[in-house]
Amino acid sequence: MMKLFIKHKAAAQGETRIRRDGKTYKKMGRKWIVVSQPKGAPRKKPGQVAEEAWQRGSDHYLATLIGTEVGETVENALNEMGITDYDALVDKVRNEPGDITQQIYTQVSKRVYDLPGIPGEQQQTLDTFGRTLQTLRDYFSTKPKIALKIKVTSRKGQEYYKYKDKNELPVVKPKALLAATRKLAGWTVTAPLESKHVRGMIAKKTAKLVSGKIDNRRSWVLPVKQEDINWKYRGDSLLIRVKQVRGMKERTRATAKAEIKIPYAYAKAFLLNQVKSKRTRNYFIFRIERSAGYRDFLERSGV
């Protein structure tokens, strides 16, 4: 007799369920994490919670450094920053501004990616190290980020200080960055867009040809006006409209038009490097960073 198997829909991120033991569990990544004890269960003391966080971070830290060339590279990079062991790392996170974990991860990842090694091993090591920093940031970071001020001179020659524009790019987990890179078919979003990139993105369904025919000899014109850039509040990418044009005496005519979905891992880099209008650039950065889709992206893939 044939048995029927019912395929249930996977639980959504953040979904909570109460199990037989009376505890409430929350879906975080691929795991279910306890978020509350059953009624009458003894609550953990603050010191006990901190101790467990310290131990969890230590486990990830040791798993990062153990026995590989990539791990040795991470350890050397930390030593250059004055971080000689796990206790020193905890102290640095506790005493430095809130963005210190991002600075540490950026420095370490640069050294790791310079290694001529196996990409899978590099990504796995950085992912484990990222978990260390995330745990320490959540439980031991006590200081907010420092907003940098710079000295500027007005048109009348008066000097004053203002906050520096927040142009820093989000730090993304290696797996998410690799997936976004593949979708762009070799385009770095900071370099000129070529026809081979557009064709590759069409094949990966990251882009679609709206009209005309692609000419390998013609260059692509990137968005200038706001109407050529779009995004959705709960989306996962930035939509841009690009075109190839043929010059005429008094005007140009589009010979090909395409739409490209830039993953959020590269969206801010595109806006900062390719959109000339500061007003347009800042408008989209401001709106996107406050959207539900972008916040979900950072929660899921950020470090």
Q: What is the pLDDT of residue 257?
A: 94
Q: How confident is the model at residue 5 (pLDDT cuts 50, 70, 90)?
A: very low
Q: Give the pLDDT band (50/70/90) at residue 6.
A: very low
262 close to 241: Cβ distance less than 8 angstroms: no
Give the type of residue at 137.
Answer: R
Residue 66: pLDDT band with limits 50, 70, 90: confident
% of the chain exceeding 90 in pLDDT: 21
Maximum average pLDDT range among 24-33, 133-142, 208-217, 284-293: 208-217
Task: Kindly report, residue by residue over 153-181, the tens digit of the pLDDT.
Answer: 877 788 876 655 555 677 788 888 888 98
Question: Among the ranges 18-32, 34-48, 268-282, which has the highest mean pLDDT value?
Answer: 268-282
Give the tens place of pLDDT for each residue, 93-122: 888 876 788 889 988 988 888 887 666 788
pLDDT at 121: 81
For residue range 232-245, list pLDDT tens digits in order: 998 999 999 999 99
Compute the distance between CA of residue 183 and CA of residue 264 in angstroms, rounded to an integer.
Answer: 11
Binned at pLDDT 50, 70 and 90, residue 36 comes out as low
Poorest-pLDDT segment among 33-37, 51-55, 64-68, 94-98 = 33-37
Mean pLDDT value across residues 175-202: 91
pLDDT at position 3: 47
What pLDDT score does 137 carry? 81
Confidence of residue 49 (pLDDT cuts 50, 70, 90): low
Please report, for the chain, the start and end positions of each structural domain, with discontinuous segments joined by +.
46-140, 174-301
Which pLDDT belongs to residue 149?
62
pLDDT band at 151 (very low <50, low <70, confident <90, very high): confident
